[in-house]
Structure 1
Amino acid sequence: MSRHTPSRPVDMEKLFPELLPYRRESVRLHPRPGSPTFKDSSVGGPLLWPASEPWPVCREEHYDTDTASRLEPAVAMVPIVQVRRVDAPGIPFPEGTDLLQVLWCPYAHGVFCYPLPRVHWRDSGAIGDVLPTPAPAAGLPEDWYPACCAVYPEHVTEYPSRDLPDEVYDAIRGRFDALLTETGLLYSYHLAEAPGIKLGGYPSWTQEPAWPDCKGCGSRMEHLLTVSSWEFDGESWLTWLPEEDRADENETGGRRWKNDAHNPTRLCLGDAGGVYLFECRICPERPIGHWFDCS
């Protein structure tokens, strides 16, 4: 079943023409429990991994995520996202590639206790024999890697909230406040950037923005992927919950959504935070940066 985010209940660019220069497009992946194959786009599913290439193992210093104190041994990385180019319209894949694969080590790394990601762009037609995706190692923190989910990609338009320049926000703040009074719609929750796991658009920051600069050329990197703990929260569901996942609250014990729509991946990154991946599209090797935050 495909997923469709409801149209915004107001005409954003008519009410706030100042936002037009900051408009961006993203692809919401809408993961839901399923049984994708290695040929499919997925979250937490098997990867189309070449048999000629060893499965990546994290040998960096990393720690138990509960205490961030116990040093853990080397561990095989876990699949996070696999996306075919055909399922991600508008996302700029490198020339000659049609498959994006993201893995990470689900143990805590560095001062901020982040999972350590790795990104691969591939030509699926050149892979040949496929290496079976290994099961996650025993003892991994299960809420730091996603349950196996099929995806239902959807193209959406976004506007920035935390990334909106201060001078622009100050110029239209009064209209944001008036809209909240008249409709109950809070710009940052209901009308700006999409929550959940997505490609492109703006990061769904929990804290203040932390855009990395490329170590090679010094330019600010572009947002590639947000991996959020939840697909929406107690505020944002009102406008971002897909039509197909909405339910009568009397049928769901007061909830407004069906089944696993809120947290289909079973992730809980810190205090329901997110991991953000970035890339430099200027440097030929497309170096990667990342950030992790939570409430």
Structure 2
Amino acid sequence: MLWPAAEPWPVCREEHYDPDGTNPAAPSVPMVPIVQVRRVDAPSLPFPEGTDLLQVLWCPYGHGEFCYPLPQVHWRDSGAVGDVLPTPVPAAELPEDWYPARCTVHPEQVTEYPSRDLPDEVHGALKGRFDELFAETGLRYSYHLAEAPGIKLGGYPGWTQEPVWPGCEGCGSRMEHLLTVSSWEFDGESWRTWLPEEDRADENESGGRRWKEDAHNPAGLCLGDAGGVYVFECRTCPDRPIGHWFDCS
């Protein structure tokens, strides 16, 4: 991660526990990198003026009532980083499925539509068309045409449960979705429309799977019962405060 050597690596000093919520963890834990994205690779994301790099880290221990990882968001000018601080090696005792394996992302811009966030009256008005779509194609709106599954920037959160949009404590407005970090990139239905062509496999050569072995969970995450962490930000307040939510099956 392009972290300036002149800045100390962020540390979580909040009270936190093992993911099962029972055993207290060490009081000062280095944050682990989750996502680093350049502005050129996410042109539709509104970066703050003067920045071209988004960095998201979190503490990979459980926090609060729902035992969630605690995220931080940093925006910076990559040209001003200078010397780079080596990224700390995660401690051996960390819950390894709560921080991602090191990998390179290949962002792809897609168009998506709300499913759980679709107002009831709109869903009711469109139900006939959804039923017609399923009868003609076998595709379900919620699985195949609405929110893109997996790890993503912007768009709609990939909720596992009912939506919980945080409000900004500063101005009171509803925050905008910045990032979803999911345990899986797709499931047994959504792969039909959301799985990239290059990740598909011949089921006769892959034990019945229709995708390559590492395509389902390339980051190696399992957040709760295959859940997700959602990071939000207020784009009205100048300091762009963040909020977050966690849910699972």
TM-score by length of 1: 0.83
Q: Select which of 229, 234, 239 maps to 2:183.
A: 229
2:48 is aligned to 94
The one-character-per-residue Cα deviations of 1:16-54 (angstroms, maximum 9, x if unpaired) are xxxxxxxxxxxxxxxxxxxxxxxxxxxxxxx10011111
Aligned-partner residue type, residue 117 of structure 2 = D
Deviation at 1:128, TM superposition (A): 1.0
Structure 1 CA distance for aligned equivalents of residues 200 and 6 of structure 2: 45
221, 228, 243: which one aligns with 1:267: 221
Q: 1:113-132, aligned counterparts within 5 Å? A: 113-132=67-86
What CA RMSD, in Å, does the superposition of the two structures yield over aligned residues?
0.7
Q: How does 1:248-287 map to 2 (within 5 A)?
A: 248-287=202-241
State percent identity of aligned pairs: 82
Aligned partner (choices 97, 114, 117) of residue 163 of structure 1: 117
Aligned counterpart in structure 1 of residue 160 of structure 2, from 206, 211, 215: 206
Corresponding residue number in structure 1 for 2:18 = 64
Taking the aligned partners of 1:137 and 1:245, their CA distance within structure 2 comes to 32
Matching residue's letter, 1:145: Y
Pairing 1:184–2:141 present: no
| Amino acid of the structure 2 residue aligned with 1:244 | E
Measured against aligned partners, the alpha-carbon deviations of 1:230-279 in whole angstroms (never above 9, x if no partner) come to 00000100000001111110011100001300000110000110000000
Tell me, what secondary structure is at the counterpart of 2:101?
coil
Which structure 2 residue ranges, 5 or more long, are not aligned? none
- Cα offset, 1:180, TM superposition: 1.2
Alignment partner of 2:198: what SS?
helix
SS in 2 for 1:96: coil
Q: CA deviation at 1:225?
A: 0.4
Q: Secondary structure at the match of 2:110?
A: strand
In structure 1, stretches of 5+ residues that fail to align are: 1-46
Q: Where does 1:3-82 land on structure 2 (aligned, <5 Å)?
A: 47-65=1-19, 67-73=20-26, 74-82=28-36
Greater RCO (Cα-Cα under 8 Å, separation 6 or more): 1
- Residue 6 of structure 1: aligned partner: none
Cα offset, 1:175, TM superposition: 1.4
Q: Give the counterpart letter for 2:204 in structure 1.
A: N
Q: How far is 1:182 from its partner?
A: 2.1
**2-structure distance, mates of 1:271, 1:124:** 36
> What secondary structure is seen at the aligned counterpart in 2 of 1:175?
helix
CA displacement at 1:289 relative to structure 2: 0.4
TM-score by length of structure 2 reads: 0.98
